[in-house]
C-alpha cells in the first residue's frame, strides 16, 4: 500500500460493522503501511488495531464531522508530498452517512488519486437481510430530526417505488416509525435491522404498523428497510393520512393555514380539499 515516491493517495478503508473477523486482509495491510490515518474516533481505531494485532506506525489524526473541513487542507498537502492517507470511520465504509465525501471531493478536484479497500456496509447488509426487493433501492440516510421537517421529507417519498434504506438513532426510532406509518401507511412492509453482525443481531420483519408498535426499548445501531410503494398504490393519500400530516405540522409549530398550504402543495391537491380534511382532524 505504500505510495511510490511523490505519488501519494487517499485510501477509503471499510471497517467491520461488529465482528473483528470480518476485517479484510486489505484493511490490515492499509493500517499497517499507512503514512497517515484519519479516524472518526481514534480510540476505536486503536482498539481495532489491537484486536487485529496491527502495530500502527502512521500519524493518527481525528477526523469527525466537527473538524472535517479544517483537516482537509493538511491531508491534501500530505498526499501531494507522497503520503498514503487512509481514512476510516467507526464502522462500515467512509462517506456513507459518515465523514469522508468532502475529503474525496476535494482530493478529486485537486487531481489526487483516490482508491478504496472495500468493506462491510450496513446499507447493503440490511437490504440483503430484509427480504424486501433489492434489485432497485434508494439510500435516504438519517431522516430529519425535527418532526415537521421529517414529516415533509417522508411524505415526499410516499410514492417512491424502490425499496428505501434509512439509518436512525434509537432515541428517535419511535417517532420516526410513527411518522413513517403516517407517510407510507401502516401496512407497508418493512424490516428493522439492529446490531448487524454483532452478538445481539436482530432483524424484525413485518408491517410498519407492527414495527412501530414494538419500537419502544429497541437498543443498538439501527437500519430501517422500507418496501417501496406498489405501482397501483401510488396516488393521492387518504383523508386520514392528510389529516395526520396537517396535524403533525401544526404540532411542530406551523400555523394551520401554513400546514394546509404545505400539504396541498406537496400532494398537488386543491387547498380547499386539504383544509376540509385538516379542519376535521
d(CA 59, CA 61): 7
Query: pLDDT by residue (tens digit) across 255-269?
Result: 888 888 877 876 778
Instruction: Give the CA angle between residues 269, 275, 276 to the nearest 5°.
Output: 105
Grid coordinates representing 228 are: 417501496
Rounded to two decimals, what is the model's pTM?
0.78
Supply the CATH classification number for the domain 9-120: 3.40.1010.10
Q: Residue 35 in contact with residue 58, Cβ under 8 Å?
A: yes
CB atoms within 10 A of CB 266: 17
Buried b / exposed e over 48-64, threshold 16 CB at 10 Å, is bbeebebeeebebbbbb
Query: pLDDT by residue (tens digit) across 126-144?
Result: 999 999 999 999 999 999 9
Q: Crossing angle for the helix pair 173-184 and 147-156, nearest 10 degrees?
A: 40
The reply to whether 123-233 shares the fold of 9-120 is: no
Low-confidence ranges of the chain (pLDDT < 50): 1-5
Grid coordinates representing 266 are: 406537496
pLDDT recorded at residue 38: 98
Instruction: Give the CA angle between residues 266, 185, 176 to the nearest 5°.
Output: 80
Domain boundaries, the chain: 9-120, 123-233, 239-280
Is 3.40.50.1000 the CATH number for 123-233? no
Amino acid at each position: 500500500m505504500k505510495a511510490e515516491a511523490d505519488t501519494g493517495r487517499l485510501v477509503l478503508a471499510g471497517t467491520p460493522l461488529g465482528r473483528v473477523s470480518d476485517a479484510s486482509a486489505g484493511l490490515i495491510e492499509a493500517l499497517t503501511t499507512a503514512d497517515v490515518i484519519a479516524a472518526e474516533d481514534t480510540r476505536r481505531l486503536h482498539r481495532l488495531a489491537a484486536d487485529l494485532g496491527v502495530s500502527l506506525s502512521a500519524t493518527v489524526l481525528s477526523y469527525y464531522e466537527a473538524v472535517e473541513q479544517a483537516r482537509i487542507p493538511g491531508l491534501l498537502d500530505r498526499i501531494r508530498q507522497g503520503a498514503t492517507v487512509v481514512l476510516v470511520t467507526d464502522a462500515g465504509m467512509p462517506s456513507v452517512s459518515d465523514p469522508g465525501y468532502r475529503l474525496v471531493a476535494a482530493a478529486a478536484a485537486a487531481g489526487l488519486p483516490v482508491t478504496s479497500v472495500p468493506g462491510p456496509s450496513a446499507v447493503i447488509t440490511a437490504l440483503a437481510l430484509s427480504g424486501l426487493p433489492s434489485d432497485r433501492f434508494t439510500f435516504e440516510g438519517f431522516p430529519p430530526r425535527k418532526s415537521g421537517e421529517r414529516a415533509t421529507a417522508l411524505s415526499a417519498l410516499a410514492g417512491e417505488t424502490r425499496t428505501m434504506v434509512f439509518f436512525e438513532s434509537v432515541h428517535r426510532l419511535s417517532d420516526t416509525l410513527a411518522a413513517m406509518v403516517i407517510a407510507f401507511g401502516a401496512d407497508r412492509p418493512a424490516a428493522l435491522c439492529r446490531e448487524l453482525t454483532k452478538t445481539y443481531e436482530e432483524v424484525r420483519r413485518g408491517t410498519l404498523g407492527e414495527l412501530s408498535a414494538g419500537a419502544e426499548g429497541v437498543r443498538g445501531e439501527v437500519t430501517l428497510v422500507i418496501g417501496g410503494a406498489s405501482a397501483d398504490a401510488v396516488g393521492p393519500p387518504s383523508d386520514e393520512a392528510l389529516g395526520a400530516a396537517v396535524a403533525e405540522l401544526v404540532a411542530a409549530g406551523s400555523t394551520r393555514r401554513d400546514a394546509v398550504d404545505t400539504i396541498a402543495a406537496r400532494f398537488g391537491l386543491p387547498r380547499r380539499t386539504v383544509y376540509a380534511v385538516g379542519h376535521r382532524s
